[in-house]
Amino acid sequence: MEIIIQPTEADSVDIAARIIARLLREKPNAVLGLATGSTPLRLYRALIAMNLDWSQVTSFNLDEYVGLDPNSPMSYHSFMWANLFDHINIRKDKVNIPDGTAKDIPAFCAEYEEKIKSAGGIDLQVLGIGTEGHIGFNEPTSSLGSRTRIKTLTPQTRRDNARFFDGEDKVPTHVITMGIGTIMEARENLLLAFGANKAHAIAQAVEGPISSINPASILQMHPQAKVCVDAEAASQLTRSEYYKWVYANKPAWQRL
Ligand code: F6R
pLDDT in tens, the chain (256 residues): 999 999 999 999 999 999 999 999 999 999 999 999 999 999 999 999 999 999 999 999 999 999 999 999 999 999 999 999 999 999 999 999 999 999 999 999 999 999 999 999 999 999 999 999 999 999 999 999 999 999 999 999 999 999 999 999 999 999 999 999 999 999 999 999 999 999 999 999 999 999 999 999 999 999 999 999 999 999 999 999 999 999 999 999 999 8
Strand partners, 193: 229
Q: Is residue 8 part of a domain?
A: yes
Classify residue 256: in a domain, yes or no.
Answer: no
Q: Kindly state whether residue 105 falls inside one of the protein's structural domains.
A: yes
DSSP 178-202: --HHHHHTSSEEEEEE-SGGGHHHH
- Give the count of domains, the chain: 1
Residue 255 lies in a domain: no
The finding on whether 142 has its CB within 6 A of some atom of ligand 1 is no
Q: Minimal CA–CA distance to 54: which of 44, 63, 39?
A: 44
Residues 157, 134: Cα–Cα separation, whole Å: 9
Residue 254 domain-assigned (yes or no): no
Residue 212 Cβ contacting ligand 1 at under 6 Å: no
Is 135 part of a structural domain of the chain? Answer: yes
Gap from CA of 132 to ligand 1 centroid (Å): 11
CATH of the domain at 93: 3.40.50.1360
The backbone torsions φ and ψ at residue 13, rounded to the nearest 5 degrees and listed phi first, read -65, -35
Gyration radius (Cα) of the chain, Å: 17
CA–centroid distance, 137 to ligand 1, in Å, is 8
CA distance 65 to 164: 12
**pLDDT on residue 256:** 85
- Alpha carbon distance 166, 77 (integer Å): 18
62 lines ligand 1 (CB under 6 A): yes
Q: What is the domain range of residue 6? A: 2-248
Ligand 1 neighbourhood includes 36 CB (under 6 angstroms): yes
| Sign of torsion over alpha carbons 103, 104, 110, 111 | negative
| Alpha carbon of 172 to ligand 1 centroid (Å) | 15
Q: What is the pLDDT of residue 131?
A: 98
- Under a CB-based contact definition with an 8 Å cutoff, are residues 27 and 56 in contact? no
How many of the other CB atoms lie within 10 Å of CB of 158?
A: 17
* Closest Cα to atom 2 of ligand 1: 136
35 Cβ below 6 A of ligand 1: yes
C-alpha angle with apex 200: 199 to 204, nearest 5 degrees? 115
- Atom nearest to 36 CA in ligand 1: 7
Determine, yes or no, domain membership for 253. no
Separation between Cα atoms, residue 49 and residue 190, nearest integer Å = 20
Length of the chain: 256
0.85 exceeded by pTM = yes
Angle at the Cα of 123 from the Cα atoms of 122 and 129, rounded to 5 degrees? 75
* Nearest residue by C-alpha to atom 4 in ligand 1: 128
Ligand 1 binding pocket mutation candidate from 39, 42, 84 (most atoms within 8 A of CB): 39
- Give the per-residue pLDDT at 14: 98
> Is residue 233, in this structure, part of any structural domain at all?
yes
Indicate if ligand 1 lies below 6 Å from the C-beta of 33: no
Name the closest-CA residue to atom 9, ligand 1. Answer: 136
